[in-house]
Amino acid sequence: MRLAPALLAAALVAGGASLAFAQAVPQFSSDVGVAYVDVFVSDHERPVPGLHGHDFELRDDGVPQRVELAEIDAMPVQVLLVFDSSNSLTGEKRAALRVAGDLLLAALRPVDEVGVIAFSDDIRWLARPTLDRRAVHEAIASLQPVGATAVYDALAAALAVADPRGRTLVILFTDEVDNSSLLDATDLRAAAVRSSALVHLVTVRRRGPFVPNTRVQPDSHPLQEIAELTGGRAWIADSVANLTAAFTRIAATFATRYVLRYEPAGEPTPGWHRLEVKLRKGKAKVQARRGYWVPDPAVR
């Protein structure tokens, strides 16, 4: 039987080691009519610095918005590391993941909280969000390969516990093979739409066409699509040795992102709102969340 994301929350709360879900569904980051959108601007993979609010054009459901840049230093980040600890976490891959995790920690600011979620055929906190870097380091070092793989369930869980009031970065490391999830790609996309978290996918596989597993259609790549929907992307390392480079680049892109602030005109209608963000001049690439979800207050 297929479970909806809300039912999965109850199903996974079983014992102290299991991941406890937040009661409220995370929504697009807003406060008293003010909305925030994380944006990354690059030119040939290099961050573009020095932009101002008037350099951006943002449309909310096709309506142009007046934007300004928010002060990032006043906006701590919650980072959730969601690491595959199934049987595929070999010794070499595990060692590289520990090094990559430490590099990422070194690149974050002292005010940024980090949590570690491990998953195989179950999902568990190794470290709840904390400023204690030693605790996070020890959590990553404790990863042990065991069990099957529930990638979709794990990402849905991380989206559910993401802080709806601030900026949350979810970094999912997996080999993309899902053989144990209760949820499918449709459920996971619905969870991503309703979350304000930004998702990056990191995986190790050879360059070339994506080879789907039984849950993935031949012409699709759901995890990559979901990452891009949230304003993130998929980072594909073609060898375990290059895994650290992917984490280093994620840290660099997040440190050089812009946060756009605007006040949507009128009362936002329930449902999906499409966002379009681009530069007024130039041909640099802009990555941003493709939209946000407004809940219906009449639906509990």
- pLDDT at 133 (0 to 100): 96
The yes-or-no verdict on residue 2 having pLDDT over 80 is: no
The rounded distance, in Å, linking the Cα atoms of 191 and 112 is 24
Q: Which residue has the higher pLDDT, 298 or 162?
A: 162
Query: What is the average per-residue pLDDT within 32-61?
Result: 91
pLDDT tens-digit readout, 86-122: 998 888 888 889 999 988 999 888 999 999 999 999 9
For the beta carbon of residue 240, count every other beta carbon within 10 angstroms.
16
The rounded distance, in Å, linking the Cα atoms of 109 and 256 is 13
Domain that holds residue 194: 1-9+30-210+220-295
CA 92 to chain centre: 25
Give domain status of residue 142, yes or no.
yes
Give domain status of residue 244, yes or no.
yes
pLDDT band at 300 (very low <50, low <70, confident <90, very high): low
Give domain status of residue 22, yes or no.
no
Give domain status of residue 274, yes or no.
yes
Give domain status of residue 282, yes or no.
yes
Q: Which residue has the higher pLDDT, 208 or 291?
A: 291
CA 130 to chain centre: 18
Element counts in the chain: helices (H) and strands (E):
7, 16
Give domain status of residue 276, yes or no.
yes
Average pLDDT in the chain = 83
pLDDT band at 75 (very low <50, low <70, confident <90, very high): confident
Give domain status of residue 24, yes or no.
no
The yes-or-no verdict on residue 25 having pLDDT over 50 is: no
Share of the chain above pLDDT 90, in %: 52
What's the CATH number where 260 sits?
A: 3.40.50.410
Classify burial at 13, counting beta carbons within 10 Å of its beta carbon; exposed 0-12, middle 13-18, buried 19 or more.
exposed
The yes-or-no verdict on residue 218 having pLDDT over 90 is: no
Give domain status of residue 300, yes or no.
no
The tokens for 108 are: 């974050």
Give the chain's largest Cα–Cα span.
Answer: 55
DSSP-derived letter for residue 75 is S
Q: Which residue has the higher pLDDT, 129 or 17?
A: 129
The yes-or-no verdict on residue 26 having pLDDT over 80 is: no
- pLDDT at 291 (0 to 100): 93
Half-sphere exposure of 194 (CA within 13 A, CB side): 21
Please say whether the beta carbons of 284 and 258 come within 8 A.
no
What's the number of domains the chain is made of? 1
pLDDT band at 254 (very low <50, low <70, confident <90, very high): confident
pLDDT tens-digit readout, 139-184: 999 999 999 999 999 999 999 999 877 889 999 999 777 888 999 9
Query: What is the average per-residue pLDDT within 38-67?
Result: 94
